[in-house]
Amino acid sequence: MNKPLSINTPRLHQHIQALAQIGKLGETGVCRLALSKEDREGVDLVRSWMEEAGMTTRIDAFANLIGVWKGRNPELPVLMLGSHVDSQPYGGRFDGAIGVLGAIEAVQTMAEQGIVPERDVEVVAFCDEEGCRFNKGLFGVRGMTGKLEPDELERTDKNGVTRRQALLEFGVDPAEQAGYAFQAGRVGTFLELHIEQGPVLEAMDLPIGIVSGISGPLWLTVEMTGFAGHAGSVPMGMRRDALVGAAKIIVALNELASREPGAPTVGTVGSLQVFPDSRNIIPEKVAFTVDLRDIDLSRRQVLEQELFAALERVADEHGLAYTVREDTNSEPRYCADWIKRTMREEAEGMGIAPPPELMSGPFHDSLAMSYVCDYGMIFVRCLAGISHNPKEFSSPEDIALGTELLYRTARRIALQE
């Protein structure tokens, strides 16, 4: 039988609903693109809740919102909790948001119970986890951990706005990034609560799960170039149609990712740009994204090699040139065994069914944090596994259970000397 929860479930639900009104899309969706005015409005609201919970707050040069709850010994490595509040352009209310709001609730519950942590506890709403606006995600967490690439601030969105300009419009000065260096060992543990974004927990009829690891994502941007011509007069055998070439690569990626039945490999082309984009002109240039993920790095690398071989073959067949830009390349990262064990023990104390261990196909801020500290994640069941969609839904009851497990795990770690 489930034991009574320590967290304030109505307050948590109210915060989720209030944040969902910012950038509201239709009845249930949200659009809070990174560094947009909606994103800033959401960050400001979340900041007010951090301060109500007793944290001191700041926004750093990477536009990360950071709330600090002071512990007895500031020399001990920090316990960090968090996620993100930016969204996809056609997103849902829960992706990222419950990880930030659940973390605030965990800290506020500890404070209300009179608990004084041994170490500082930080709650972070990381900037631009999604990566949809500038086609490269995890910006804030990579900035915080010193992993940004040289051209990050010059990347542009679809309207030609650079990330540098967007940061300035958001209200932070990117020039301050130049003097920043991540202090190794400052953060000891990172915990993240997130909706599953998959159907496994629902199929098992279980509210929460413990994450075992995150698949390694490979993001590419491919540009194929042919030659434009009149759609009515150039014979089929004489065409250099870039869109036909791109279509063959898209199909090849789908076949490669589907080849091994039961494997967790996934491959997606989610964005396509055609030039000159006219119905009666043969496409001269096509740019498209590739998203290839697998928990098995060696298998993903084999598929990557085969994809490049397909690119070469198709380009030769259709007289095309091509370029490939690597946007993200990460190996799979596994959660710390001691954190998973702590979560299992705390779940038992809640009187719930033992949470299963699940792999995460999507990447999260935890992926970047895994390179600087031990990390653990809690998944919350979501309806039909739907995410990055206004129909995304997790019940208040399931979110409350996930937040309670986050609170109990965080409390235990925060009190360790």
Residue type for 105, please? E
230 is in an annotated binding site: no
Count of all residues that appear for the chain in the document: 417
Closest CA to 208 of 2, 1, 401: 401
388 is in an annotated binding site: yes
R_g of the chain computed on alpha carbons: 23
> Could you count the other beta carbons within 10 Å of the beta carbon of residue 70?
14
Q: What is the dihedral of CA 342, 346, 351, 356, to 10 degrees?
A: -40
Cα angle, residue 376 at apex, residues 147 and 213 outer, rounded to 5°? 80
How far lies 408's CA from each of 64, 78, 100, 134, 258, in Å? 25, 17, 16, 36, 40
130 is in an annotated binding site: yes
15 is in an annotated binding site: no
Residue type for 240, please? R
Phi and psi at residue 88, to the nearest 5°: -75, 165
> H helices within 350-389, ranges in order?
365-369
How far lies 334's CA from each of 146, 249, 254, 291, in Å? 21, 31, 26, 20
Residue with tokens 């130049």: 178
* Parallel, antiparallel or unpaired: strands 374-380 and 187-195: parallel
Q: Provide the total of helices (H) and of strands (E) in the chain, helices listed first.
A: 11, 16
DSSP letter, residue 77: P
Cα angle, residue 375 at apex, residues 98 and 413 outer, rounded to 5°? 85
Asked whether the beta carbons of 32 and 88 are under 8 A apart, the reply is no
CA 91 and chain centroid, separation: 12
- Token readout for 270 is 């989610």
95 is in an annotated binding site: yes
How far lies 300's CA from each of 140, 260, 271, 353, in Å? 26, 12, 21, 34
Query: Which residues does the annotation place in the binding site?
Result: 84, 95, 130, 194, 388
Query: Which residues does the annotation place in the binding site for Zn(2+)?
Result: 84, 95, 130, 194, 388
